[in-house]
Structure 1
Amino acid sequence: MNALHSTIVLYAELCLEVRMVILSVYRLQSRGLSNSNHPISHPDMDGTNQPAEVNQQSPAGQQAMGGDVEESNSSGNSQNPGERKAQMPPLKPPSMWTSMAMKELKSKLRLEKDRVVTVKRGNILTVHVPTVPEGKQVCWEFATDSYDIAFGISFDWNPVTSQAITVHISESSDDEEEENQLEGLINPGDVEKGSKSLANSNIGEILPVYRLDSHMAVQGGSHEYPGEGTYLLKFNNSYSLWRNKTLYYRVYYSA
């Protein structure tokens, strides 16, 4: 019985060794086929490979043959006035503060006309505030009931045509389309939208739109005139899918 057991063990070990040899041969053959089907040039000692050097030399040769044509094309693209964005003076950040006198502000604004508005879900309320000669800076205060709202400020450098403060309400999709036009994403050759994009290219950002805890504290601030133009104060409720926001706000000038 012991001899039979030893024979079985030797046979099993032999089969295992044969299997390992077969696997090794199969792997070597597979590597050989892979290298023959997909030749890859090995890198030189300096870390570069020859095909890369050939590719680098080829464009140089083409440029030597037609360099004047390529150089003139690249120069023309960089100097295309339609692709250059209008250079605007830098805008300083606003001065901002908070106050806990929410009840006092809300009670006062309820007595004034058009100082309490509802910004519906998905909508953006923009207050257009033109600069006036009597003032040197624009100031604002606002608060909301129960829920916060997003707020941001831009400045339109176009000349002021009216000193009236106006309010514009838009849906988020309309506002996004307007921002795309301001960023020059619309083809200037578009007959319907290209002219509007070029006309509104003089708008700069003072404060990016972000959510403020206007339901917990009065949000206030001021900004010194950078020049003649119109402030665009945006109260953004586009992120809210279900809730309308009651907004209390006032805008005034300071010398």
Structure 2
Amino acid sequence: MPVVKPASTWTSGSLKELKTNLQQEKGAVVKVYRGNIMTVHVPTVAEYQRVCWEFATDNYDIGFGVYFDWSPITNYAITVHISESSDDEDEEEQEELANVADVEKGCKVTVNTNLGEILPMYRQDSHHAVQGGSHEFPGEGTYLLKFDNSYSLWRNKTLYYRVYYSN
């Protein structure tokens, strides 16, 4: 895999404004249930040069990371996938997962060899400030923007987000 430039990130105090605007957009406000990870798949497109994101939450933080899948694009639509945790997992499996993907420490381990890390998974104070960022396309592939609530045993998170392309 080629060397990938780092992402640009920023925060903004316009939390209320972003939430108000996104409440008007279909699908821009979602609930990420306790124990779940929501992944937004964003394919690169020839008309643009970068992907941009902004998000905020109500009352609590959420984990966030950005990855790039170098596999050939099979679907040019932006799609959302939810990974649900299983209450039936035994303790050994849970301990293994905790060691592999610790949101507190950031996650450097990837299983898919076509997957590159753009922004490691960390908990973001998105309930205090809008979290934003952008990344210049490193080539053809699909961005995976992950909103991680797997560390939360009790709280669902209301997520306000937008993803868009730019030049």
Range into which the TM-score falls when normalised by the shorter chain: 0.7 to 0.9
Partner of residue 166, structure 1: 79
1:226 equivalent to 2:138? Answer yes
Backbone CA RMSD of aligned residues: 1.9
Q: 1:117-136 CA distances to partner (integer Å, 9 max, x unpaired)?
A: 00000000000000001110
2:118 to 191, 206, 212: 206
Write out aligned runs for 1:56-71 (5 A): none
Instruction: Tell me: higher relative CO, structure 1 or 2? Use CA pairs within 8 A at least 6 residues apart.
Output: 2
Partner of residue 5, structure 1: none
What one-letter code is carried by the residue in structure 2 that aligns with 1:152? Answer: G
Displacement of 1:91 in angstroms is 1.8
Partner of residue 117, structure 1: 30
Q: Secondary structure at the match of 1:91?
A: coil
Partner of residue 252, structure 1: 164
Displacement of 1:201 in angstroms is 2.0
Q: 1:129-148 CA distances to partner (integer Å, 9 max, x unpaired)?
A: 00001110000000000000
Partner of residue 241, structure 1: 153
1:100 equivalent to 2:13? Answer yes
Partner of residue 157, structure 1: 70
Write out aligned runs for 1:32-111 (5 A): 88-111=1-24
- For 2:44 and 2:121, the matched residues in 1 are separated by 21
Displacement of 1:161 in angstroms is 1.7
Cα 1:182/1:208, change in 2 over 3 Å: closer
Displacement of 1:171 in angstroms is 2.4
Q: Percent identity?
A: 71
- For 2:85 and 2:44, the matched residues in 1 are separated by 26
Q: Which runs of 5+ in 2 are unaligned?
A: 90-96, 102-108
- For 1:162 and 1:134, the matched residues in 2 are separated by 16
Q: 1:15-59 CA distances to partner (integer Å, 9 max, x unpaired)?
A: xxxxxxxxxxxxxxxxxxxxxxxxxxxxxxxxxxxxxxxxxxxxx
- For 1:182 and 1:214, the matched residues in 2 are separated by 25
What one-letter code is carried by the residue in structure 2 that aligns with 1:214? Answer: S
What one-letter code is carried by the residue in structure 2 that aligns with 1:205? Answer: E
- For 1:168 and 1:162, the matched residues in 2 are separated by 14
Q: Which runs of 5+ in 1 are unaligned?
A: 1-87, 184-199
Q: 1:142-185 CA distances to partner (integer Å, 9 max, x unpaired)?
A: 000000001001000011122100000002469x5xx89953xx
- For 1:250 and 1:114, the matched residues in 2 are separated by 9
Partner of residue 131, structure 1: 44
Structure with bigger gyration radius:
1
Partner of residue 106, structure 2: none
Tell me the TM-score normalized by structure 1: 0.56
Aligned residues: 149
